[in-house]
Chain A
Amino acid sequence: MIERVQCGSCHVIPGVDWPKGRLGPSLDGMDQQGLVAGTFPNTPQNLAAFIRNAPAVKPGTVMPAMPIDDREARDVAQYLIEESKR
Chain B
Amino acid sequence: MTEALFGWPPPVLDPMGPYAEPVRTVAWALSGMGALVTTLVVAALFVAWRGPPVWRARLGGQTSILVFGVALPAVVLAALLIWGLMLTAKLDRPAADGAMRVRVTGEMWWFRVQYLDPQGRVIAEDANELHIPTGQPVAIELASADVIHSFWVPHLSGKKDMIPGRTNRLTVQADRIGRYGGVCAEYCGRAHALMGMVVIAHAPDEFGRWWGARRAAAATPKPDSAGFALFTDSGCAACHTVDGTRAVGRTGPNLTNVAARQTLGGGILPNNRGTMTGWVGHSQSIKPGNRMPNYDRLEPRQLQDIVTYLETLK
Residues of A within 8 A of B (CB): 4-10, 19-24, 60-67
The dominant DSSP class at the A interface is loop
Residues in chain B near residue A6, CB distance under 8 A: 269-270, 272, 274-275, 278
B residues 281-314 touching A (CB-CB < 8 Å):
281-282, 285-287, 296, 300-301, 303-304, 307
Q: Max chain B CB contacts within 10 Å: which of A23, A24, A63? A: A23
Q: Are B300 and A9 in contact (CB under 8 A)?
A: no
Asked if B167 is an interface residue, CB under 8 A from chain A, the answer is: no
Q: Does B136 reach chain A (CB closer than 8 Å)? A: no
Chain A residues with CB under 8 Å of B274's CB are 5-7, 9-10, 63-64, 66
Contacting A at CB under 8 A, from B240-294, are: 268-270, 272-275, 277-279, 281-282, 285-287
Known: A19-B286, A65-B273. A9 touches B303 (CB 8 A): no
Taken together as a complex, chains A and B put the C-alpha atoms of A22 and B279 apart, in Å, by 10
**A9 & B286 in contact (Cβ 8 Å cutoff):** yes
For chain B, the count of residues having a C-beta within 8 Å of the partner chain is 21
Give A23 to B286 CA distance when docked, in angstroms: 10
Q: Which residues of the partner chain B approach A21 to less than 8 Å between Cβ atoms?
A: 278, 282, 285-286
Contact A10-B272, Cβ < 8 Å, known A62-B303, A62-B304, A64-B277: no
**Can you spell out 12 A-B residue pairs with CB atoms less than 8 angstroms apart?**
A5-B272, A6-B270, A9-B275, A20-B286, A22-B282, A23-B277, A24-B278, A61-B300, A62-B300, A64-B273, A65-B273, A66-B273
Q: Give Cα A61–Cα B277 distance, bound, in whole angstroms.
A: 12
Known: A10-B278, A66-B274. A23 touches B296 (CB 8 A): yes
Are B270 and A5 closer than 8 Å at their CB atoms? Answer: yes
Q: Most chain-B CB neighbours within 10 Å: which of A7, A9, A23?
A: A9
Bound complex: CA of A62 vs CA of B301, how far in Å?
A: 8
**Chain B contacts of A60 at CB under 8 A?**
300-301
- Cβ contacts under 8 Å, A5 to chain B: 270, 272, 274-275
Question: Contacts of B268 on A, CB cut-off 8 Å?
Answer: 19
The smallest C-beta distance from B52 to any residue of chain A, in angstroms, reads 55
Question: Given A20-B285, A60-B301, are A9 and B273 also a contact pair (CB < 8 Å)?
Answer: no
Question: Looking at the complex, which one of A23, A61, A67 makes contact with B278 (CB distance below 8 Å)?
Answer: A23
Question: Is the pair A4, B270 in contact by a Cβ cutoff of 8 Å?
Answer: yes
CA distance A58 to B268 in the complex (A): 29
The 6 residue pairs across chains A and B that have the minimum distance between CB atoms? A9-B278, A22-B285, A23-B282, A10-B278, A23-B281, A64-B273
Chain A residues contacting B270 (CB-CB under 8 Å) are 4-6
Bound-complex Cα distance A10 to B275 (A): 7
| CB proximity of B113 to chain A, nearest CB, Å | 22
Measured between alpha carbons, how far is A23 from B270 in the docked complex, in Å? Answer: 17
B277: chain A residues within 8 A (beta carbon):
10, 23, 62, 64
Q: Is there an interface contact between B285 and A23, defined as CB atoms closer than 8 Å? A: yes
B303 to chain A, nearest CB (A): 6
Q: How far is the CB of A55 from chain B (nearest CB, A)?
A: 9
Chain A residues near B304 (CB-CB < 8 A): 62
Residues of A within 8 A of B278 (CB): 6, 9-10, 21, 23-24
Q: How far is the CA of A63 from the CA of B285 in the complex (A)?
A: 17
Q: What separation, in Å, do the CA atoms of A5 and B274 have in the docked complex? A: 8
- Give every chain B residue within 8 A of A23 (Cβ-Cβ): 277-278, 281-282, 285, 296
